[in-house]
Amino acid sequence: MLKYTLIPLLPFISFIINILFGRNYIKDKAHWIAVPAVAGSFVLAVSAFFDVLGGHDVNINLYSWIASGDFTVSVGLLIDQLSAIMLIVVTSIGTLIFIYSIGYMHGDGGYYRFFAYLSLFVFSMLMLVMGNNFLVMYFGWEAVGLCSYFLIGFWFHKKSAGDAGKKAFIVNRFGDFGFGLGVILIYLTFGSLEYMQVFDKAGSIAGQTINLLGYDVSLVTLICLLLFCGAVGKSAQIPLHVWLPDAMEGPTPVSALIHAATMVTAGVFMVARCNPLFSMSPVAMNTVAVIGGLTAIFAATIALVQNDIKRVIAYSTVSQLGYMFLALGVGAYSAGIFHLYTHAYFKALLFLGSGSVIHALHHAGHHDEQNMQKMGGLKKHMPITYKVFVLATLSITGIPFFSGFFSKDEILWRAYLGGDLGKFLWFLGALAALLTAFYSWRLIFLTFHGTFRGTHEQEHHIHESPPVITVPLMFLAFGAVFAGYVGVPPIFLKHGDKIGEFLAPVLGHPAGHGTHAEEIFVILVSIAVAVGGWLIAYKMYIKSTELPQKMENRFQWIHKVLFNKYYIDELYSKTLIHPVLKASDKIILGFDTYVIEGIVNGVPNLIGAFSRKFREIQTGMLSNYALVMAIGAVCIVGIWIFLK
Amino acid sequence: MVPLSWYIILSSVMFSIGVFGFLTRRNLLIIFISIELMLNSVNISFVAFSHYLQSMRGQIMVFFVITVAAAEAAIGLAILIAYYKNNPTIRVDEINLLKG
């Protein structure tokens, strides 16, 4: 039992030590505490994974957190197949990124603070995935959001970073509001927050409705949609995706760990965890699938024209998260989790690779270190980074027998089987895959091929990053290539879908069966779009490099819309942020100035004015005092005599 | 024999003069004298009642009053002199530092 408790506790201890003693004592040795802690978690997580593999699930209550009448909540850990996979993903990628950060953050003034927050994040994320009830999940959910806020705004002296942190936090609030309501509704409905009890009773509420603003709404649909609100916020789906690209203001390891591999997938995990509820509501499932499909294509189109290397990858993340929700929505929960798992490796690798590029350019004195238009030809200067980047790109674009191929193909295949809506979503997914291939290769070609578009002086100073950065990249590259082999589709290898079988006790088997011919057709389409995307990118950025400019001039307004991200930020600014700010101004002027400050300042002013009058009694004139004394004495005597 | 009421009237008149002087005069020395006047008016009534009631208690009180009056005069005059050394005045309307 201690073993399981230690998994989240080790990073937490690292956080406590670093945050308390980091500033004065530990300073630039913070990693000596943080890295062993998270590596220890990883070892324990692997051991827990094998326990689960051996059929030994864990469901323990550590202590009673809240006990108020009928309402009891424990802090408890649940390690089943689903959380075991999440544990492996979080701790393995966490360990590699912690090591990478030693090199990347070297010499930063907030070194200890970085590792403290990163440790706190790992603790929160582990609590999120390991909790055995909704409140512990909610705790982890909010805590990872808090850490995300801390780390996006890590370089808080930059205004854009502070703004991005606030944006992430506030946008997430919209989603979390729904999530919180969902948790409350679950408690009101089931009288418990424990997963096992809730899911056991889930069948009993089928067909129940709840009156909402005069409409009868299916209870389970309402619960699922409220929970999904939280997932939309945390996993950056339409319409709350706006925070994730801005979150790239944070240090690159943060983007890799929090905004690619783990935290943003919390929404996927949560929907998968609640699959007994979601499966009961076709409306909610279709919502999830459609939002996912639309996000996948929507974010991919934006990524086509962005020039900031991290923003391209960020939109790619949004798009891939869309894929995962697409899978969940068509009932292929294990495919969604499978993609979560493979995506974590290749996307973390892409981010860390871009971090390696940014790091090198920064040290070469490049001032526009994230602008791909100012890069080029880095292949010969950074051979290791280039190679791992290519491997990650092969994986994400779904080139056969790289891990992304297996998971993406599984999703597309499951979507294809999902009826008319499924076919439509499959089409969206395949189109998004084409775009993914295009922008991923565009990124590689702009960054690593061609000639360097900065100054000679800068080019002279570009060097490959140190081993502390490149070695984690190589490990991740291994994961990016081979992680998918746990889920080989049965068409290639009988009983190859190990991960699907492994997750089946929690997530069930996806419905729908198709013929071999159909499956081969879907696979061929996937391969075709992956190669097609590469060909288009090759044509535009290697063969005839003047073509992008021509296309930009030709389709100017499309480019403008895409480049400005469909003006969503501007729309929100006009319709939401501006009116709220204006109304707040009014409130400050009217209510705050006159009412609140009126009370706050009025009371002391009144007392002051009163005492100013009252203290004039103290004239300092002896005879006045004597007179008062005499009058007083006369009065006392008078009263004494006349009342006697 | 002088009736008791005469003593009381004398005592009341003396006391009133003392109070009047105490309240109206500005010279600190006169104020002291007014206080002495009030104390002594009380002494007169004590002695008168002592004689009238054939009891020594009143006269014992008189000694106390005289003692207190002596002490008071000593301390009061000392303060007065000390004050005069710093501020050459004994007019109470000019001694008004302790005002709000």
Residue length of chain A: 644
**Residues of chain A positioned with their CB less than 8 A from the CB of B26:** 623
Among candidates B19, B23, B97 on the partner chain, residue whose Cβ is nearest the Cβ of A620: B97
**Residues of chain A positioned with their CB less than 8 A from the CB of B22:** 626, 630
Say if the Cβ atoms of B92 and A621 lie within 8 Å: yes
Q: Is any Cβ of chain B less than 8 angstroms from the Cβ of A630?
A: yes
Q: B31-82, pLDDT tens digit by residue?
A: 889 999 999 999 999 999 999 999 999 999 999 999 999 999 999 999 888 9
Judge contact between A253 and A105, C-beta under 8 A.
yes
Say if the Cβ atoms of A617 and B100 lie within 8 Å: yes
Q: What single string gives the DSSP state of each residue in B21-47?
A: HHHH--BHHHHHHHHHHHHHHHHHHHH
Give the closest residue to A426 by CA, choosing from A561, A599, A296. Answer: A296
Say if the Cβ atoms of A620 and B24 lie within 8 Å: no
Indicate the SS3 state at residue A173: helix
**Residues of chain A positioned with their CB less than 8 A from the CB of B93:** 621, 623
Size of interface A-B (CB pairs under 8 A): 34
Among candidates B23, B93, B100 on the partner chain, residue whose Cβ is nearest the Cβ of A626: B23
Q: Is any Cβ of chain B less than 8 angstroms from the Cβ of A613?
A: no
pTM of the model: 0.80
**Residues of chain B positioned with their CB less than 8 A from the CB of A615:** 100
Q: Tell me, what's the pLDDT at B100? A: 60
For residue A614, the distance in angstroms to the closest alpha carbon of chain B comes to 9
Q: Which residue of B has its CA nearest to A628?
A: B23
Q: How many angstroms separate the most distant Cα atoms in chain A?
A: 120
Indicate the SS3 state at residue A567: helix
Q: Is any Cβ of chain B less than 8 angstroms from the Cβ of A623?
A: yes
Among candidates A617, A622, A626 on the partner chain, residue whose Cβ is nearest the Cβ of B95: A622
Q: Which residue of A has its CA nearest to B18?
A: A630
Q: Which residues contact A145 (CB under 8 A, 6 or more apart)?
A: A168, A169, A172, A176, A234, A263
Q: Is any Cβ of chain B less than 8 angstroms from the Cβ of A612?
A: no
Q: A254-304, pLDDT tens digit by residue?
A: 999 998 889 999 999 999 999 999 999 899 999 999 999 999 999 999 999
Query: Helix/strand/coil (H, E, C) string of A207-236?
Result: CCEEEECCEEEEHHHHHHHHHHHHHHHHCC
Among candidates B23, B26, B99 on the partner chain, residue whose Cβ is nearest the Cβ of A619: B99
CA distance A45 to A148: 23
Judge contact between A294 and A335, C-beta under 8 A.
no
Among candidates B23, B31, B100 on the partner chain, residue whose Cβ is nearest the Cβ of A630: B23
**Residues of chain A positioned with their CB less than 8 A from the CB of B80:** none
Interface residue of B26, B27, B92, B97 to substitute, partner A, most A CBs within 10 Å: B92
CA distance A68 to A66: 6
Q: Which residue of B has its CA nearest to A626?
A: B23
Q: Is any Cβ of chain B less than 8 angstroms from the Cβ of A627?
A: yes
**Residues of chain A positioned with their CB less than 8 A from the CB of B95:** 620, 622
Q: What percentage of chain A's residues is helix, strand, coil (to nearest 5)?
A: 75, 5, 20
Residue numbers of chain A with a pLDDT score lower than 50: none
Q: Tell me, what's the pLDDT at B34? A: 92
Eight-class DSSP state of B55:
-
**Residues of chain B positioned with their CB less than 8 A from the CB of A608:** none
Among candidates B19, B31, B99 on the partner chain, residue whose Cβ is nearest the Cβ of A620: B99
Q: Give the H or E element holding residue A58.
A: strand A58-68
For residue A172, the distance in angstroms to the closest alpha carbon of chain B comes to 59
Side chain identity at residue A348, one-letter code: A
* A514-to-A139, A165, A521, A523, A602 alpha-carbon distances in Å: 41, 46, 11, 13, 77
Say if the Cβ atoms of B19 and A619 lie within 8 Å: no
Q: Is any Cβ of chain B less than 8 angstroms from the Cβ of A66?
A: no
Q: Which residues contact A114 (CB under 8 A, 6 or more apart)?
A: A30, A101, A105, A108, A151, A154, A251
Residue B95 structure tokens: 């001694």
For residue A600, the distance in angstroms to the closest alpha carbon of chain B comes to 26
Strand duo A58-68 + A71-79: pairing? antiparallel
* A160-to-A246, A303, A566, B34, B81 alpha-carbon distances in Å: 9, 21, 21, 83, 76
Q: Is any Cβ of chain A less than 8 angstroms from the Cβ of B30?
A: no
Q: Tell me, what's the pLDDT at A48? A: 93
Say if the Cβ atoms of A618 and B100 lie within 8 Å: yes
Interface residue of A612, A613, A615, A621 to substitute, partner B, most B CBs within 10 Å: A621
Q: Tell me, what's the pLDDT at A363? A: 84
CA distance A229 to A275: 15
**Number of helical (H) and strand (E) elements in chain A, helices listed first:** 28, 4
Q: A124-173, pLDDT tens digit by residue?
A: 999 999 999 999 999 999 999 999 999 999 998 999 999 999 999 999 99
Indicate the SS3 state at residue A465: coil
Residue A421 burial class via C-beta count within 10 angstroms: exposed 0-12, middle 13-18, buried 19 and up: middle
Say if the Cβ atoms of A623 and B23 lie within 8 Å: yes
Is the pLDDT confidence value at B97 over 80? no
If you compute the radius of gyration of chain B from its CA atoms, what whole number of angstroms results? Answer: 17
**Residues of chain B positioned with their CB less than 8 A from the CB of A627:** 23
Among candidates B92, B98, B99 on the partner chain, residue whose Cβ is nearest the Cβ of A623: B92
Interface residue of B12, B19, B94 to substitute, partner A, most A CBs within 10 Å: B19
Q: Is any Cβ of chain A less than 8 angstroms from the Cβ of B77?
A: no
